[in-house]
Structure 1
Amino acid sequence: MSDLLPLSGLNPLLADWSADAPARAAFVALRDHLAALPGTELAVRARPGVSWSLRATAGDPTERPLFVLVDVIDDDPADRWLSVCFYDDMITDPEERGDWVPKGLMGCDARCFNIDADAEPDTEQYVKARLDEAHTKAAG
């Protein structure tokens, strides 16, 4: 049995998350961006107190079960932040902003971007460009 929830599974998180938190606004913007990409399906894995994972799939999910994982790190609800991870071979990182994480996504090498209060102002836009890139590859 899968523990994945529909997108509405995020409702408890969003209801409890301060509307003026910078990471919340970035999360909502990334969620909405993903939802607008053609053929993208979104699911949620909720682990309150640990993380809330937004998983996006496109194309054949048997090849790879997702093309991006947007995690809300929830160990400190007063200071939540985002970790947005891609398979390393699905994106470029021309400005080398992401962290390379060996076997960091489903046992494969990953490239992850953190969005928190200290993130550069254009980080959200930079990550959206990576979302588009990964989606194009996943959708084939």
Structure 2
Amino acid sequence: MKKFGLLLLIMMSSLLSVNVFAEEGETVDTYAYYGFEPDIVTNYISNRKKLGFVRISVELMVKVPEDLMVLEHHDPLLRAAIIEILGAQTEDKVKSLTGKEEIRRECYDTLNRLLEQEIGKPLVVNLLFTKYLYD
């Protein structure tokens, strides 16, 4: 319920800011962000005897604030896809900068593909890792 209230507040403030700053006839892109709560924590394929894990915070950027409701509705599907992608990665890929970017891109492509299957169009403009911890 707290998440819904925050979402509603963000949507309202976004709509107000569009009306205040947009000149007549001018179109303004209003971006909004959807964050997965709680952080995503999962294991990955480790080269060592102990289990490796990764903990990430993911923010999805959308062009239209109303799309946040769609993302919230499909949160379990999107979260499961990210966990599946992370769980299939090797330790070397998880711990390298280029590997991190490849993982981010794979998550972005997969989520948009899933959204296209579910609602008929991709919604995610960008996917950001705002926290990326591994062991």
Query: Shared fold by TM > 0.5?
Result: no
Which structure has more relative contact order (CA 8 Å, sep 6+)? It is 2
Q: Tell me which protein shows more helix as a share of its residues.
A: 2
Larger radius of gyration: 2
Structure 1 length normalisation: TM-score? Answer: 0.30
Q: Tell me which protein shows more strand as a share of its residues.
A: 1
